[in-house]
Amino acid sequence: MPYKPKYSFFIVLISILFSSCGENINTLNLSGSIIGGVSYHPFDNFENTGFSDVLVSLEAAGILDTAAPDSMGEFRFDNVKTGTYNLIFTKPGFGTTKEMGVQMVGGGGLVYCYTTLYKKIDYKIFDFSINYDSTLNQFNLRGRLDTANSFLPENRRISIKVFFNNSADVSYLRYYKFDSFGIKINQDLQFDSWGGYSVSSDYKTYKLYYAVAYCGNYDNGYFDTDSIATVYPSWGEPSNIDTVFINHEETGPPDIIFTEI
């Protein structure tokens, strides 16, 4: 009697099942839509001339698609496959803003994303210097702006962000301490400000600091997962780097051995 395999029926059954499953997987909807809107900060709204020059880019290992918002600032991306994406918002004269880690889960779903654009400050600080008065326990800031423009407020008061580090590698991406100072600019676009900026005990960790300053009226930023830091789209370019010695009621030269942060 010829040999008959006992499991031939099960092999055929399994083949049918896998074939059927494959057809179901191929027909699943593994994409969805990302919809959202763009608006301007209220203080910038006087220059709001619409959204025709705003560009929204869909990014994932490169730019995959772009969209232009309609007259209401709304945009839409369809047929977005399951995955994680970044949305990049650009407009001439405004800082580039990103929405990082937007997740799309298939099944024809919708993901909503709304953002605010901020006008970018187009001036920077030159001849920046910072000193410390141990008697008053206060900082003194000096410097000048490179040019006057329409973004300089009528009262000529601006906000200066100063970042401190214990090495010359200092920026808003790498710092030990950060402080914000309200400064009034004179008619010659200069500032020299004493008082009101008491130095906290946090600065006692080191004696010598490197400092860099930015002009920036808005503290709204986004966390960039690529640089692992908060980015502030509206801020101007960095100033020159200056050093400041904080005495801590001690005598002697400043420390010159730095500890990595």
pTM above 0.85, yes or no: no
CA distance 220 to 133: 31
Domain shared by 140 and 234, yes or no: yes
Is 45 among the domain residues?
Answer: yes
18 membership: H or E segment, kind and range: helix 8-27
Long-range contacts of 56-63 (CB under 8 A, 24+ apart): 56/87, 56/88, 56/89, 57/87, 57/88, 57/90, 58/34, 58/85, 58/86, 58/87, 59/85, 59/86, 59/87, 59/88, 60/84, 60/85, 60/86, 63/88
Is residue 159 a contact partner of residue 183, using CB atoms and an 8 Å limit?
Answer: yes
Which of the listed residues 71, 94, 117 is the one where a domain comes to its end? 117
Domain shared by 55 and 86, yes or no: yes
Which of the listed residues 117, 148, 182 is the one where a domain comes to its end? 117
What's the domain range around 227? Answer: 125-245
Q: Please tell me the predicted confidence (pLDDT) of residue 253.
A: 40
| pLDDT tens, position by position, 16-59 | 333 333 434 444 568 889 999 998 877 665 555 688 899 999 99
Is 18 among the domain residues?
Answer: no
Is 257 among the domain residues?
Answer: no
Is 9 among the domain residues?
Answer: no
Domain shared by 131 and 189, yes or no: yes
CA distance 29 to 27: 6
Domain shared by 230 and 136, yes or no: yes
Q: Helix (H, G, I), strand (E, B), or coil: what is residue 142?
A: strand
Q: Please tell me the predicted confidence (pLDDT) of residue 154.
A: 66
Is 166 among the domain residues?
Answer: yes
Is residue 179 a contact partner of residue 160, using CB atoms and an 8 Å limit?
Answer: no
Low-confidence ranges of the chain (pLDDT < 50): 3, 7-27, 250-261
Is 57 among the domain residues?
Answer: yes
Give me the CATH number covering residue 228.
Answer: 2.60.40
Domain shared by 80 and 192, yes or no: no
Domain shared by 238 and 130, yes or no: yes
Which of the listed residues 117, 152, 182 is the one where a domain comes to its end? 117
CA distance 254 to 148: 38
Give me the CATH number covering residue 53.
Answer: 2.60.40.10
Domain shared by 135 and 217, yes or no: yes
Q: What is the CA radius of gyration of the chain?
A: 28
Is 232 among the domain residues?
Answer: yes
Domain shared by 133 and 154, yes or no: yes
Domain shared by 104 and 65, yes or no: yes
Domain shared by 98 and 192, yes or no: no
Total domain count for the chain?
2
Q: Please tell me the predicted confidence (pLDDT) of residue 169.
A: 94
With the C-alpha atoms ordered 75, 76, 81, 82, is the resulting torsion angle positive or negative? Answer: positive
Q: Please tell me the predicted confidence (pLDDT) of residue 50.
A: 83
User: Which residue, among 136, 139, 114, has the nearest Cα to 36 in the 3D structure?
Assistant: 114
Domain shared by 47 and 74, yes or no: yes
User: Which residue, among 202, 215, 199, 209, has the nearest Cα to 243 in the 3D structure?
Assistant: 209
Domain shared by 135 and 160, yes or no: yes
Token pair recorded at residue 50: 């619409």
Q: Please tell me the predicted confidence (pLDDT) of residue 26.
A: 47
Is residue 247 a contact partner of residue 134, using CB atoms and an 8 Å limit?
Answer: yes
Is 97 among the domain residues?
Answer: yes
CA distance 64 to 91: 19
